[in-house]
Amino acid sequence: MDQILIHACCAHCLGKLLAGLAAEPVARAPVVFWGNPNIHPLIEWRRRLKAVKMLVERARLPLIADETYGLVDFCRAVHGHEAAPARCARCYALRLGRAAQVARENGCRSFTTTLVTSTHQDHGLIRAAGEAAAAAEGVEFLYRDWRAAEADADLVKMLYHQQYCGCIFSEYDRFKDTSTHLWPAP
């Protein structure tokens, strides 16, 4: 059975992708890859990595984890392009380029990403970045629109579920219009 590398940014999206992958007509053995220099702050990055580790343990899947906190790499990649969608395109290219490289290095003929499960991500940019990375590394990028997939409740039970994409810019966009933690309250 061919192996497929799954770039994972969080446990809940990984659960959705695994459900979508299980419904595919061609069976592939998943290998999970954690490589997310975009996720900030450090505590958020750690929460998500911990949740992914817990899910792969529950699912008994292999995990390749780049546990280097990538603040500098992310900032360099998006510098001068901080507004979406340019920022997102550069971020997708950074992460999917690395995922394609890891797929090739580990003998996986194809790779995909949990980004394709999100209703908040730009699927056109994800697909373009995945296909470019695949061409550069000589592997296949499996694009599917798995936004409607449902994660196995037992896999994601009590795992951390984030409230924003992961980058500091998306955190700002998510919370800028709230009055949470303001003192005095408006």
- Domains of the chain: total: 1
Q: How open is the CA angle 48-100-133, to the nearest 5 degrees? A: 115
136 part of a folded domain: yes
75 part of a folded domain: yes
pLDDT of the chain, 186 residues: tens digit per residue: 899 999 999 999 999 999 999 999 999 999 999 999 999 999 999 999 999 999 999 999 999 999 999 999 999 999 999 999 999 999 999 999 999 999 999 999 999 999 999 999 999 999 999 999 999 999 999 999 999 999 999 999 999 998 878 898 988 888 889 888 888 877
184 part of a folded domain: no
Residue 135's alpha-carbon distances to 89, 104, 131, in angstroms, are 17, 11, 6
182 part of a folded domain: no
For position 183, what pLDDT does the model report?
Answer: 84
Task: Give the whole-angstrom CA distance, residue 38 versus residue 88.
Answer: 10
**pTM score above 0.75:** yes
168 part of a folded domain: yes
Of the candidates 39, 15, 30, 52, the residue with the CA atom closest to the CA atom of residue 103: 30
* Beta pairing, strands 110-113 & 3-7: parallel
Indicate which CATH number applies to the domain containing 84.
Answer: 3.40.50
11 part of a folded domain: yes
The separation between CA 171 and the C-alpha centre of its own chain, rounded to angstroms, equals 16
pLDDT in tens, 35-82: 999 999 999 999 999 999 999 999 999 999 999 999 999 999 999 999
- The domain of 169 spans 3-175
